[in-house]
Amino acid sequence: MPSQRLNKQKAIELILVELEKGSTYSACLGVIGRKWTLSESSFKRYWKEANSTYSERQELIQKELESKRLEAETERLKKAILTKDERLEIASNIALGKARKIGEQILIPSDGDRLRALDYLAKVNGDFAPKKEEITIKTEQPLFGDD
């Protein structure tokens, strides 16, 4: 038999604890009803308020997790993306035929690799970009009259 009355704040805190455990309405009512004197109508009001508080907490937690996840993803992407200077340096090393070590292997660029690196460098630097020329058209009198 329940021994004492439960004040509103304490009841809401107990319901929140049960909600965090994943308890349902009836299971929570059973747990609290065994220990405390609390009418079902009071429990229902407290349940609604506790659910509202629980939902707000969960939303805050989800927003915080999402911001942390986005932050971590942004950092991961920043580390994975080579800057223009880094790409140019790698292409230059390949074009020069410099060997590089990957794991236990030493890789030396082939002639094809070197040509592709040179093409890439030329394209990035704009060596083959069309030159802009100003074209002017002069109109003159026709040779034959409009007679």
pLDDT of residue 116: 93
What is the per-residue pLDDT for 41?
Answer: 87
pLDDT higher than threshold 60 for residue 3: no
- Give CA–CA dist 116/64, Å, rounded: 46
Is the CA virtual torsion 70, 73, 79, 80 positive or negative? negative
pLDDT tens digits, one per residue of 32-59: 878 888 888 888 999 999 999 999 999 9
Q: How far is CA 46 from the centre of its chain?
A: 38
Burial code (b: 16+ CB inside 10 Å, e: under 16) for 23-49 equals beeeebbebbbeebebeeeebeebbee
DSSP single-letter state for residue 39: -
What is the model's pLDDT at position 138?
A: 76
Global model pTM greater than 0.75: no
Q: What is the CA radius of gyration of the chain?
A: 37
Taking only the tens place, the pLDDT of each residue in 85-112 is 888 999 999 999 999 888 899 989 999 9
Q: What is the pLDDT of residue 147?
A: 54
Q: What confidence score (pLDDT) does residue 1 get?
A: 47
The residues pairing with 102 across neighbouring beta strands, listed in sequence order, are 105
99: Cα within 13 Å, side-chain hemisphere: 7
pLDDT digit string (tens) for 60-83? 999 999 999 999 988 888 887 888
